[in-house]
A = this chain, B = another copy of it.
Amino acid sequence: MKTTAAPARERSARPHKTAGRLPRRRIRLAGDATSLREARLLVGETLVNCPSDFRDAAVLLTGELVTNAVVHGGGWFLLQVDASPGRLRVEVTDAIALQPRLLALSGDREHGRGMAIVDALATRWGAEHIGSRKVVWFEICLER
């Protein structure tokens, strides 16, 4: 699942420093299994001036979607982060037509908690199919 190709990074804007406010920023990261941690770092860095519970949730949820893209989605992913005042939208694209499934929580099963975490902490989330590509996304709003 790992490739030696370095992840490509593009940043279209620098973050604005307004404490407690989301900077307007768009980040794309085309990555593979080795870029999971980098994906989380990018989101954490984008939200550096936001309340920590908001930032922690965004980082956790980004990690869950990227992990799924890597484990179930064929190993390759494209991460897009759109931060605008009060709202963060994270999109993870992979190349597998299968959808994420929200599994029922169980104290017994070893897997199947990722989308439940997304469902619990995101303001909204969804999946979108465009030909054979798929985008799984979530949004969190600062005022909840």
Please report A residues at the B interface, Cβ cutoff 8 Å: 97-99, 101-102, 119, 122-130, 135
Across the interface, name the chain B residue whose C-beta is closest to A128: B126
Report the separation of the CA atoms of residues A101 and B129 in the bound assembly, to the nearest whole angstrom: 12
Oligomeric state, in copies: 2
A89 to chain B, nearest CB (A): 12
Cβ contacts A to B, 7 pairs, < 8 Å: A97-B102, A98-B102, A99-B102, A99-B127, A119-B129, A122-B129, A126-B128
Indicate if the CB atoms of A124 and B119 lie closer than 8 Å. no
B residues within 8 A CB of A125? 128-129
Across the interface, name the chain B residue whose C-beta is closest to A136: B126
Report the separation of the CA atoms of residues A101 and B102 in the bound assembly, to the nearest whole angstrom: 11
Report the separation of the CA atoms of residues A138 and B3 in the bound assembly, to the nearest whole angstrom: 35
B residues within 8 A CB of A102? 97-99, 129
